[in-house]
Chains A and B, each alone.
Chain A
Amino acid sequence: MASQPVLERDQIAPPAPRPHKRPWYRSRAAKGALYASPAALFVLAFFVIPLVLVGQMSASEWPLIQGNQGINLPDNYANMTDDRLFWPAVWFTIKYTVIVVVLLLGLAMAMALLVQRRRRGVGLLRTAYFLPVSLGLASAALLFWGFYSPSIGPIDPILESLGLIDEPIRWLGTPNMALASTVFLIVWKFAGFFMLILLVGLQAIPGEVYEAARVDGASRVQTFFRVTLPLLRPSIALCLIISVTGSLLAFDQFFILTNGGPDNSTVTVVMLLYRKAFRQFDLGTAAALSIVILVVLLIINIAQFRLLRRGSEG
């Protein structure tokens, strides 16, 4: 059917001179592929091949120094839970994630609501909230390591001079204090980051929506729960994905502040992996652990993406 008119035209008019046929490598598609090829090669060499290798390593006996000693499937996976710190580390990582996500997103939301409207001085507040974000996590952890230390920490002397405490608080000395102190560091460091994401979301809500809510006689609290929160759902889901992923992979902050202590009470899953690889020299089990982490994160993130999509549809 489609070729019919073309045939007719060919019969009427003399065949048009064929355009000079370009060789394939001069075509536009080839040029596009050429521009994308550095990134493609890079991703192949340093992402795809390592992922294949980590799969092989997780199925092999692979001591740090000697290297590949052959397939031992499924020993690395089966023996993973033999480490007496495995379940405590999993439990601690989950507990830490729940606490951080709730506190972090709660505070970030309060801060975003506080500074969402333009008024005098609001820019200064936004900048103050955001400054810690530009610091590195390791720098921030080292800062707080001094801040909490009994030698130069500023909080104990102030509390002592006010007569509120008799002896220094052991900010990192007990399991619960170490967790609380680390959570404070993380909230301090990242609240501004999530505030910014929520702020962008808040400012995308058209003013007419609030106007309509006001005309309908909705109170401020009603407006927040019935109008703002539902419309903000994609931004909240995004914050959730980033903060949950980041917390489940927590490492720097505990490595620097507590090094897993006291009494291994703050060993996270990633710290367990680091110790497996570079303290116990067992790369095979470390690889297996990293694959388990990857799969768990994929499942959690797919679940959260679903939430995100439903949010933007509704």
Chain B
Amino acid sequence: MATMGMRNAIGNTSFWVFGGGLAIMFLVPLVWTTVASVSPHGATAQQEGYGFGNYGTLMDYDAGLPRYLWNSSYVTILTVVFVLALSILGGYAFARFRFPGRDVLFLLIIAILMVPYVTVLVPLWVMFGEIGLRNSLLGVAIVLTLYQLPFGMFMMRISFEAVPKELEESALVDGCGTFGVLTRIMLRAVWPGMITVGLFAFLFAWNDFIAPLFLISDSSQFPLPLAIATLRQQTMGAIDFGATQAGVVVMALPCLILFVLLQRHYVRGFMSGALKG
């Protein structure tokens, strides 16, 4: 018995040394950027002592932090709304109806995942120029929606498929149309799937860098990641490291908060097998 206890103790200790060491490695950069954003550095607005000077620099940089926060929020809201609208209607159609072209359409949507981002961005740059969506956050939201659609559609389809048919049939007997069934009955049953899809769309849109880099050249239209990346390389020699880290904190905070609050819903995205498609 004593040796068993010893072995457990050794196992426990090595578990905590190895596991804890790794945890520290993952946490250190996050802690560092938070501290660095309020620490004094040379050649930044925060010269002495701790304070929010770097955030002040960020407030006034070019079009101003509020503008960039708005740009990012706008793109993110549009993307989440588009993805949810398309995948709720589409998921309902795929799960409950048979119609010509159904399987082809679903395969086509999944096939989006196989096509690299840049292969679509190059022609979209040309197309958007002709229909006035270049330099527009709506154009960026459209690209982001396209790339969240495979996951959203898959997730909503299996969510609708999991709802028992009886629930729907009783409502149909009561004289509800198919749209009434969707809005009054089905949405209440599939809301966990909707939160997962919305969360993935939020994180993707809030953080994306490539789509605005390709499509937006007017700096007042930049979302946050592009604005912060431009801020740091603005003037040769005068790189503002402090303001950059303040920007990283501003970008990371909503993601970390949402993630901690909605962890369960995030993990569902993996459990669903949606990523195994």
The digit string for B236-273, where 1 denotes a CB below 8 A from any CB of A, is 00010110110110011001101110010001001100
Q: How far is the CA of A277 from the CA of B117 in the complex (A)?
A: 14
- Taking residues whose C-beta sits less than 8 angstroms from the other chain, chain B's interface range is 35 or more
Q: How far is the CA of A142 from the CA of B230 in the complex (A)?
A: 11
- Known contacts A33-B99, A134-B258, A142-B248; is-contact A54 B122 (Cβ 8 Å): yes
- Of A10-18, A123-131, A210-218, the one with at least 4 CB within 8 A of chain B: A123-131
Residue of A51, A114, A136, A188 near B15 (CB, 8 A) is A114
- Of A77-85, A97-105, A172-180, A248-256, the one with at least 4 CB within 8 A of chain B: A248-256
Question: Which residues of B (6-29) have their CB < 8 Å from a CB of A?
Answer: 15-16, 18-20, 22-23, 25-27, 29
Q: How far is the CA of A120 from the CA of B184 in the complex (A)?
A: 42
A35 and B116: CB pair below 8 A? no
Question: Which residues of A (249-273) have their CB < 8 Å from a CB of B?
Answer: 249, 251-252, 255-256, 270, 273
A228 within 8 A of B: no
Residue of B19, B94, B207 near A115 (CB, 8 A) is B19
Q: How far is the CA of A154 from the CA of B153 in the complex (A)?
A: 44
B99 and A32: CB pair below 8 A? yes
B30 and A131: CB pair below 8 A? yes
Q: How far is the CA of A238 from the CA of B122 in the complex (A)?
A: 28
B63 within 8 A of A: no
A290 and B118: CB pair below 8 A? yes
Question: Among the interface residues B27, B123, B229, which one has the most CB atoms of the partner chain A within 10 A?
Answer: B123
Residues of the B chain whose Cβ atoms lie less than 8 Å from the Cβ of A124: 23
A139 and B207: CB pair below 8 A? yes
A260 CB → nearest B CB, Å: 13
A314 within 8 A of B: no
B52 within 8 A of A: no
Residue of B33, B115, B116 near A143 (CB, 8 A) is B33
Residues of the B chain whose Cβ atoms lie less than 8 Å from the Cβ of A277: 122, 125, 214
Residues of the A chain whose Cβ atoms lie less than 8 Å from the Cβ of B167: none
- Known contacts A39-B105, A290-B116; is-contact A138 B245 (Cβ 8 Å): no
Q: How far is the CA of A267 from the CA of B66 in the complex (A)?
A: 34
B19 and A114: CB pair below 8 A? yes
B15 and A132: CB pair below 8 A? no
Q: Which residue of B lies closest to A117 (CB)?
A: B15
Q: How far is the CA of A54 from the CA of B121 in the complex (A)?
A: 9
A128 and B27: CB pair below 8 A? yes
B247 and A142: CB pair below 8 A? yes
- Of A86-94, A145-153, A159-167, the one with at least 4 CB within 8 A of chain B: A145-153
Q: How far is the CA of A139 from the CA of B22 in the complex (A)?
A: 21
A55 CB → nearest B CB, Å: 9
Main secondary structure of the interface of B (DSSP, over half): helix
A31 and B89: CB pair below 8 A? no
A134 and B203: CB pair below 8 A? yes
Residues of the A chain whose Cβ atoms lie less than 8 Å from the Cβ of B242: 152
B244 and A145: CB pair below 8 A? yes
Residues of the A chain whose Cβ atoms lie less than 8 Å from the Cβ of B29: 132, 143-144, 147, 188
B69 within 8 A of A: no
Residues of the B chain whose Cβ atoms lie less than 8 Å from the Cβ of A34: 93
B119 and A54: CB pair below 8 A? yes
A39 CB → nearest B CB, Å: 4
The digit string for A36-76, where 1 denotes a CB below 8 A from any CB of B, is 10111011001111110110010000000001000000000
Residues of the A chain whose Cβ atoms lie less than 8 Å from the Cβ of B146: 42-43, 46-47
A131 and B256: CB pair below 8 A? yes
A227 within 8 A of B: no
Q: How far is the CA of A130 from the CA of B256 in the complex (A)?
A: 10
B188 within 8 A of A: no
B207 and A135: CB pair below 8 A? yes
B255 and A53: CB pair below 8 A? no
Q: How far is the CA of A290 from the CA of B124 in the complex (A)?
A: 13
Q: How far is the CA of A56 from the CA of B117 in the complex (A)?
A: 18
Q: How far is the CA of A123 from the CA of B39 in the complex (A)?
A: 31
Residues of the A chain whose Cβ atoms lie less than 8 Å from the Cβ of B252: 134-136, 139, 143
A283 CB → nearest B CB, Å: 6
A109 within 8 A of B: no
Q: How far is the CA of A142 from the CA of B233 in the complex (A)?
A: 11
A286 within 8 A of B: yes
- Known contacts A129-B22, A249-B116; is-contact A35 B33 (Cβ 8 Å): no
Residue of A125, A238, A293 near B275 (CB, 8 A) is A238
A200 within 8 A of B: yes
The digit string for B213-238, where 1 denotes a CB below 8 A from any CB of A, is 11000000000011011001000000
B206 within 8 A of A: yes
Residues of the B chain whose Cβ atoms lie less than 8 Å from the Cβ of A53: 123, 126-127
Residue of A38, A137, A242 near B90 (CB, 8 A) is A38
A-B contact pairs, 6 of them (CB 8 A): A40-B105, A53-B126, A136-B252, A143-B30, A274-B118, A290-B122
Q: A31-B97, A35-B93, A152-B242 given; name 20 further pairs at CB < 8 Å.
A: A39-B109, A42-B145, A49-B127, A121-B16, A129-B23, A131-B26, A134-B259, A136-B209, A136-B255, A138-B226, A139-B228, A143-B29, A200-B271, A255-B209, A270-B118, A274-B214, A277-B125, A294-B114, A297-B116, A298-B114
